[in-house]
Every structure is written in C-alpha cells, then in structure tokens.
Structure 1
C-alpha cells in the first residue's frame, strides 16, 4: 500500500512524538484503519517531509513518532497567481484542485459583473474553508510540500488594482498575442480567468487600464474551468517545470 501523505498544520520537529490533527486522525484511524507500527508521511508546509511511525491509535486520536525531516522542493520556478471568478457548483472546487496539482502558488476567488454565484457572510466563510481543505488534499495527493493560499474573495477590480511585479494576463477570444509569443524570461504571472459568461466590455477595458495583457489560447471557446487549466498548463510548459 502507498504510504499516506498527511498535512500537519503546526511545525514538525524531528524525532518528536505528536498527535495528528482531528481531521488527519479520523482519516488515518477510521477511513484507512491503520494501526500501531504502520508508517505515514507528514509535511507542514515548510518543504520538509517527515516519515512517521504510528505509536498509538484510539477512537479520537492518533499518536506518531517522527523521523528526520528531509527537504523536498517540488515547487515550480514560475510563481503563478490565479484570479478565478467564482464558478457554479463543483466547477470551482475542480479548478482549485487541478490548478494546485499543476503548480499554482496562490488562488484568489473573484466576483465580477457576470459571476453567477452569490456568496456572502457565513456561506462565503464556509466556502473559503472548504476550498482551503481542497487545496490541502490536492497537495497531499500530488506531492507538493507547500500549501498554496486560497485568499479571501474580492471584487475583480480590487484584485486587478493590486500592485506587484507580475506579468498580468487576461484571456480574450480576440487577442493578438498567445502564451507562446510572450517574451522570455517570465518568472511571475498574475492570471485572470473570467466567469462562464465572460467579462463585460467595461471589465475588459478596466483590466487593460491596470496593465493586463490580453492573450488568446486558441480558436475554440472553452468553458471557464477548461480555460483555467489549459492556460496554467501552457504557462508551466513555457515558463515553469512542465515539459
């Protein structure tokens, strides 16, 4: 059986004994039904991985003993910040999961004019917590040892107005440039993906005013979740670590 990879939310110290978090203990003890003496692998977001042996399992807790930590950096050289207008149903969860597998560093959920999702207050807080759990699970699955941040949701314009030294890209069906024609080198990208109905003409003009470059992915119209993953993959092939 493949050794399970488990995220631990607090810093890990070699050769110590720790109790797994409640979610992790439930997964290891009740879902996987693991027992004393079996091995798991822990990571805490520091790019280190720790082999660990289960010392004790009971109904509500799992105690493990840590071995020496080993640095294991699987992060892309491309620092990629995804601004994704919130999509309906499971599409947003799918986009978050797969974009993290593809190496995205930060995800910011966005509200735009044509965003078909209405979230606020407690509902939004719960969604953000769920999306961060999906990010953690994606890292456990794909081998990443740093957890990308799912930021608080914000308006499209507030996100576009944030200042950094990224190359800012917006997908547009009538753009003249493609990812393959962007000049080298590029090591930091802010990628905007609009809603299922696309950005309005005013929003497109606004993004241009904040320094975003319109790029074209290809001749076909893609769904929002397909657009995000296609663009991320193309960027990682050209500027990152997919080849």
Structure 2
C-alpha cells in the first residue's frame, strides 16, 4: 500500500491536484518522498484515488491515475460513546477505535470522570482527537473518517435521539456479547470512566433504553473495555 493522505478536496482521475500544505509537508518533509513516487489520496467521504507525486509551478501536487472502489468500511456501524479519560488515554482510544472500524466517537462527561473540559480546551481537544482519527485512517486504509463529536454530559446524550440500539458495558450485569443476537442497525456502545458508572447513571441509561452487556467476569480499564468490545463485535457480526 503506498503512503495515504487525507485530502478533503474533489478527487478526479486524470487531474493534477496541488496538495494541501499539511499533506505536502508530510509527504516531502516527513516521508522524504520524491516526484514520481506512488501515493493515495482519500477525501474522507468514501472516495480514494491512486496517483504519483509531482510538482506544479514548484508546488507539490498529485497526478491522479486510478480510482479505488473499495471503502474498507465494516458492515457494522458502531458509535463508541466513551467517558472522558485522563492523560493520553483518549488519544489511544480514538486511534484504536478508528482502526477497529468505529464510525464515530462521542466523548461524554460522567460523574466519576477525572478529566474535565471547559472553554477553549474543548475545541482544541476535539480538533486534536479528530487529527488523530485522520492519521489512523491514513494508516489503516479507511477512506471514510471516523467523526469525533464534541463532548457532552451523559444525561444530555441519553436525551438525544439515536437511530439504532444503545448498549452499555456494565461489569457484573447484562448479557455476554457472545450470547446476543446480531444488531439490526447502528449501535451506540457506552463505556464508563476510570471509576465506573454510578448507580444513578446506570438507572438513567436503563430508562433511556440502554441494554446492559458484559465482557465476562473481569473488570477492564476504560481504555481497554471499549476496544475489546469493538473487536469482539467485529468478530461476531462484522468483517473479522
């Protein structure tokens, strides 16, 4: 697979497209690519083209030669509803969720979250996470971007309509994933914070129609639980 770059511009076979500054920097300065080397561009909406690096009036560009029809998207649409985690745990969660096929990551604020975001920090952190999602898509071959939504409280998210099933990981409760029927549409998978869900939150989730599910008798860390569940769901009903 040639180096892949997210390029949110119309991609048309036969055109020579000047590369956005960030893509040009990555290709030329980071990867040390030279004119004539193969690359791939994808727009994040499902379109991808192969081509080669070239120049137009001294500006790095790509000559697009072939469309790539394969989207590499999983047949199961999972939104990871992840309680905010501290340090670089959220970076890890976003990156691996993209690799495992999640279509979106929705950060939520839970009672026992240690990380609190407010003001300018919110926008900066979401932009950071979205860039991590872009890099993960470039690496793993996806040509549709996983959306990273703005954080919101768990209560507010539970009140927001979701077109699909809502499942919540609750240690010691619920049905094992292996014993569940395949979902008939999109799934929102809720993962608690480092300190776990409170009883009040579990009650609110149940009232909102969230189905408790289990990953077995062991209690997993917040940065492990969602990724383990994603992998298991893809093995059971996805494309693994």
TM-score after normalising by structure 1: 0.94
Change (3 A) 1:210 1:185: closer
Looking at structure 1, the residues matched to 197 and 82 of structure 2 have their Cα atoms a distance apart, in angstroms, of 12
Give the number of aligned pairs.
240
Looking at structure 1, the residues matched to 57 and 90 of structure 2 have their Cα atoms a distance apart, in angstroms, of 36
Per the TM alignment, residue 148 of structure 1 is displaced from its structure 2 partner at its CA by 1.1
| 1:213 and 2:211 aligned | yes
2:17 touches 2:62 (CA, 8 Å); kept in 1? yes
> SS in structure 2 opposite 1:6?
strand
1:107 touches 1:149 (CA, 8 Å); kept in 2? yes
Looking at structure 1, the residues matched to 102 and 182 of structure 2 have their Cα atoms a distance apart, in angstroms, of 19
Looking at structure 2, the residues matched to 122 and 185 of structure 1 have their Cα atoms a distance apart, in angstroms, of 38
Looking at structure 1, the residues matched to 23 and 184 of structure 2 have their Cα atoms a distance apart, in angstroms, of 38
What are the Cα deviations for residues 50-98 of structure 1, in whole angstroms up to 9, with x where unaligned?
1122222899x42121113221121111110111011011110100000
Per the TM alignment, residue 49 of structure 1 is displaced from its structure 2 partner at its CA by 2.1
> SS in structure 2 opposite 1:40?
strand
- Residue 88 of structure 2 is matched in structure 1 by 90
User: Larger deviation: 94-103 or 171-180?
Assistant: 171-180
| 1:7 and 2:3 aligned | no
- Residue 78 of structure 2 is matched in structure 1 by 80
Change (3 A) 1:184 1:36: closer
What are the Cα deviations for residues 9-39 of structure 1, in whole angstroms up to 9, with x where unaligned?
1221211111212211111111111112212
User: Larger deviation: 112-121 or 160-169?
Assistant: 160-169
Return 5+ residue gaps in structure 1 as ranges: none
| 1:39 and 2:38 aligned | yes
CA RMSD of aligned residues (A): 1.6
2:15 touches 2:63 (CA, 8 Å); kept in 1? yes
Return 5+ residue gaps in structure 2 as ranges: none
Looking at structure 1, the residues matched to 78 and 102 of structure 2 have their Cα atoms a distance apart, in angstroms, of 5
Looking at structure 1, the residues matched to 37 and 77 of structure 2 have their Cα atoms a distance apart, in angstroms, of 37
Structure 2 counterparts to residues 61-210 of structure 1, below 5 A: 61-210=59-208
> SS in structure 2 opposite 1:191?
strand
TM-score after normalising by structure 2: 0.95
